[in-house]
Chains A and B, each alone.
Chain A
Amino acid sequence: MRRACLAQVLELARRDSRVIFIGSDITRSGAVAAFASEMPDRFFMEGVSEGNIIGMAAGLALDGHIAYFNTIATFLTRRSYEQIAIDLCLHELKVRIIGSGGGTVYAPLGPTHLAIEDLALMRALPGMTVLAPADADEMCRLMPETLDWPGPIYIRLAKGGDPIVTQGIEGFTIGKSYELRPGKDGLFVTTGVTLQSALEASSQLERSGLSVGVLHMPTLKPFDRAGLLERAAGVGAIVSAEEHVPSGGLGSAVAESLAEGFGGQRAPAFLRASLPDRFHRRYQSQADLMATSGLDAAGLERQMKALLSAETVAIVDHNTVKERT
């Protein structure tokens, strides 16, 4: 996905002289190397100084450039948060910040490298647009839409080599949700790579006689509340699935929409499937952390079944829910 994203930046730069690429200290390969050799005047590798780079990107954008800045998601979102808020969001500048290793991609490297609350941080910022595509194909559809989108954008990258699961979708509209599978009994709502697990879980549930739809929300902000509520009406249970802590991300956005959007009517039963609200101490792999957090297909299937059969208590403790369900 990172490869697809940076290849897109290269393509955008080839056809639009406003496009600038900035990295902190990232690997010289693929599109990064090609950009550096083809357009050295618009290529910047500025060292491990994320705060400065955000400000520098803001200065370039103030003058009409469109800056794409890529580095590791945690350093981008945690280290330079104030610069993102003030320099980019307050000034509504066209800077696209691309976070490598969203979620638990860098599991073996430990919690300093796990971007588990990046979506919440970015979603909280006024004027920020937050995108978390599911696969490289979706990334390719998405990137051209970022060029002239007003204001800053955070793009969360997944591991790379993730299975392509969005073949059925044509085009990409920022702010739009995509129904990949309709369902009568339940609904999975996903962002980023949890779409893969949800589609698989939906297929498994179908074999059990349960019709569970899948709504993919690659844009977390602005949030397609209308799209969600349309699909939520009539189903008995909704499980949101995100590679993220329980607070502030997709699950929160869905909960807010359900709480405010049902106009006093009883909303469907709802559960946030997420990473636990703690830093991880398992260093094996993304797949391992996803499975132990209940975010693999089996985990989502389990949680949807439990919710549909009303086995889950009303208030879910996200530190223990994985063990209980």
Chain B
Amino acid sequence: MGNPCAVIGVGQTRYRTKRLDVSIAGLVREAALRALEDAGLTFADIDAVVMGKAPDLFEGVMMPEAYLADALGARGKPVMRVHTAGSVGGSTGIVAAGLINGGVHDRVLVVAWEKQSESNATWALTTHPPYNASLVVGAGGYFAPHIRAYIRRSGAPDHIGTLVAVKDRRNALKNPYAHLRIPGISREMVEATPMLWEPIRYLETCPSSDGACAMVLASESAARRAPRPPAWVHGAAMRSEPIFFAGRDTVNPRAGRDCAADLYRQAGITEPRDQLDCAEVYVPFSWYEPMWLENLGFCGEGAGWKLTEAGATALAGDIPWNPSGGVLSSNPIGASGLIRFAEAALQVRGLAGEHQIDGARLALGHAYGGGAQFFAMWIVGSAKP
């Protein structure tokens, strides 16, 4: 992995359906300035800026990284943009960490954002080029058949998705930044909502959010001077695979399994459920919790839903998943992966507030994107590896 890398600052905006009070530049600055404040730094201390967001069609701003450079204090500094669909927030964090690991920079500002209210993500994801009649409507339209395949393959009972939808929204009530905060959220409430893309119900779906997340990543010498505890990167990995090929396992994609294996090897993890204290995993549709429990090796194939049903992933469980409320509670798409990475860092820094897992020392941050074909993951710890 090269030189050690640590998270020394985290900043988030409040996630909302519409942040009409700020421009795109204002939104990213809000997160960036909070991350700098957390790190006790100013823009002048930053060596480079790495930015991530979903495809340009989402807001219709071509190459927003160019226009946002000034807003992020990057005049005269390297700026780069990462593109990996919905996993981009995670990939952006990993690219930034690479600049520290490689000894290129000492302090890198990483920012990811989405202002979904300026357009319509389902429209942007359903562009229907001629020559095909794919009839996939939005992300839910793509993932619903694969969720159905998981349910059939694993024999999971119907209510598992509901349990995750309730659990993550309960967690969100403890997170002041979360978008969906539904007091009294219950299984009945979720089950009463309509099927959008059967088997996905309305409340088993992530919201559309405006928001941004930022982190300051630092070399060891810079981390030693940080005012608050750092989160050390113990491993980081990315993998991808084509969206269509014969024999592809769309329920348990190989790229995800390979990515996790590489990550665990770097971090010395052999039993993720036992060794990790909590995980922030990209679960935009509730059924993806049991699916990713299996893909990430927290249990054997077909057993993920049993962990969810037994409460293992709840705040009080042995391996809490998405204590922040996760993507199901806040989804500024391009930022969602970085929020997972940042929330993992907050946990091991002991700064997660009301949703802090007591004594968390090792946490997983995870993102996926495209047709479950791009994966980005990291493990952060309170101790230097």
> Are A and B co-members of a single complex?
no
